[in-house]
Amino acid sequence: MKTQVAIIGSGPAGMMLAQLLARHGIESVVLERQTREHVLSRIRAGVLETTTVELLREIGVAERMEREGHAHDGVRLAFAGRESFFVDTVKTVGKRFVVYGQIEIQKDLYAAAEARGQLLIDRVEAVALHDFDAAPGRRPSVSYLRDGVRERIDCDFIAGCDGFHGVSRRAMPPGVGRKYEKVYPFGWLGVLARVPHLPDVTYVNHPRGFALASYRADRLSRYYIQVPLEDRVEDWPDERFWPELKARFPEDLAVRIVEGPSIEKSIAPLRSYVHEPMQYGRLFLCGDAAHIVPPTGAKGLNLAASDVAYLGRALVRHYRDGDDRALAAYSDTALRRVWSSVRTSWSLTNLLHRFPHFTPFDQKAQEVELDFLMRSPHALAALAEQYAGMPLEPLP
């Protein structure tokens, strides 16, 4: 089989890239290890930056998001049981967010792929990447097993969109890359419930630990609390979760939290991870294959979208204009935005969580920093700019 771009992974990054390329007449084949049902069962965040919303519009998959998504003007921060304050990203930097679940985006991308006849091969095993080092006279290829039969795709480029545990990043030769990693000593217990949500996405710093109120739809709320890494989901029945959640919120917000039976519950560890470079020869990494951010800054899906925008547009230039400058600069261009988002997520994680080594001094210092944010228009504007995300850079 032959194609122009072989895409490894059918998550949001892989499917957005395939959709962008198709809009410009560039062929691709998407390989996926899991079934479609499994991919659609992975519950993830859904706070979309302006750049992500604009990309979804550009590639023609924004119709349902425009109809069912929920626009909001910023986020709310609360601390020490005191009155909360609002970080207004519209007034400060002119950017609005849209809450629209990642699963819904995935459904829209699958529907668009079916409509255009995208070749998507799932349930593949033993995926291997070959000859992507751009050596003269050699063309990249991807081999895989499906139903016990070894197949191969010859291609011009390979896009590794297969997540942190995928094969693409590991296919780079030893010594080529460098990793930067920070593992946090706690996790997030997340609960999804069919109950009304709070008016704003709300982050809470509390001596008992961090908490967050978010949502996916009008009556689909997502709540999180910080828990020790050794905790298990079984340790947190609903009867324990809801009182603990409310104990961390200021009273005026806690009384507005509506309890209900959880329909999904999970614990996710937190880490920051960046792999440099994000390209080698004709292999390019996108999304979680290249970087992981703690969910505190709501950056993971948005970074995948910006990677896709940079790489997709660079590939369009290659095929349309014979111009490879943007492809050559892909890693450097993408990493500038990646590190900006990593820094924002790291800063918010340090500001809002209670670490095991914390003393009363450390907790007080956090509260003073939050109080400073609340009282200083300049500090608030800086945080709003960081949270809203940097604009995409123009291609070289």
Query: In three state form, how does the secondary structure of the chain look?
Result: CECCEEEECCCHHHHHHHHHHHHCCCCEEEECCCCHHHHCCCCCCCEECHHHHHHHHHCCCCHHHHHHCEEECEEEEEECCCCCEEEEHHHHHCCCEEECCHHHHHHHHHHHHHHHCCEEECCCEEEEEECCCCCCCCCCEEEEEECCEEEEEECCEEEECCCCCCCCHHHCCCCCCEEEEEEEEEEEEEEEECCCCCCCCEEEECCCCCEEEEEEECCEEEEEEEECCCCCHHHCCHHHHHHHHHHHCCHHHHCCCCCCCEEEEEEEEEEEEEEECCEECCEEECHHHCEECCHHHCCHHHHHHHHHHHHHHHHHHHHHHCCCHHHHCHHHHHHHHHHHHHHHHHHHHHHHCCCCCCCHHHHHHHHHHHHHHHHCHHHHHHHHHHHHCCCCCCCC
In angstroms, the CA 160 to CA 285 distance is: 5
In angstroms, the CA 209 to CA 211 distance is: 7
**Which of the following is catalytic: 110, 184, 203, 215?**
203
pLDDT in tens, the chain (396 residues): 999 999 999 999 999 999 999 999 999 999 999 998 888 877 666 789 999 999 999 999 999 999 999 888 999 999 977 779 999 999 999 999 998 988 899 999 999 999 999 999 999 999 999 999 988 888 999 999 999 999 999 999 999 999 999 999 999 999 898 999 999 999 999 999 999 999 999 999 999 999 999 987 778 899 999 999 999 999 999 999 999 999 999 999 999 999 999 999 999 999 999 999 999 999 999 999 999 999 999 999 999 999 999 999 999 999 999 999 999 999 999 999 999 999 999 999 999 999 999 999 999 999 999 999 999 999 999 999 988 888 899 988
Q: Is 72 marked active-site?
A: yes
pLDDT at 72: 87
**Which of the following is catalytic: 295, 310, 318, 353?**
295
Question: Which amino acid is it at 255?
Answer: V
Rg of the chain over all Cα atoms, to the nearest angstrom: 22
Q: What is the per-residue burial (b if ≥16 Cβ within 10 Å, else e) of 202-221?
A: bbbbbeebbbbbbbbbeeeb
In angstroms, the CA 208 to CA 225 distance is: 10
**Which of the following is catalytic: 95, 275, 299, 318?**
299
Which region holds residue 243: left if phi is over 0, alpha if psi is between -120 and 50, else beta?
alpha
Q: Is 184 marked active-site?
A: no
Q: Is 110 marked active-site?
A: no
Supply the pTM of this predicted model.
0.94
pLDDT at 43: 64
Domains, the chain, with CATH or none: 5-68+100-181+271-352 (3.50.50.60)
Q: Is 387 marked active-site?
A: yes
Task: Single out the residue of 107, 119, 97 nearest to residue 46, CA to CA.
Answer: 97
Q: Is 203 marked active-site?
A: yes
**Which of the following is catalytic: 72, 95, 197, 275?**
72
In angstroms, the CA 384 to CA 88 distance is: 7
Cβ atoms within 10 A of the Cβ of 41, count?
11
- Would you say 116 and 22 are in contact if contact means Cβ atoms under 8 Å apart? yes
- The two structure tokens encoding residue 13: 């990054």
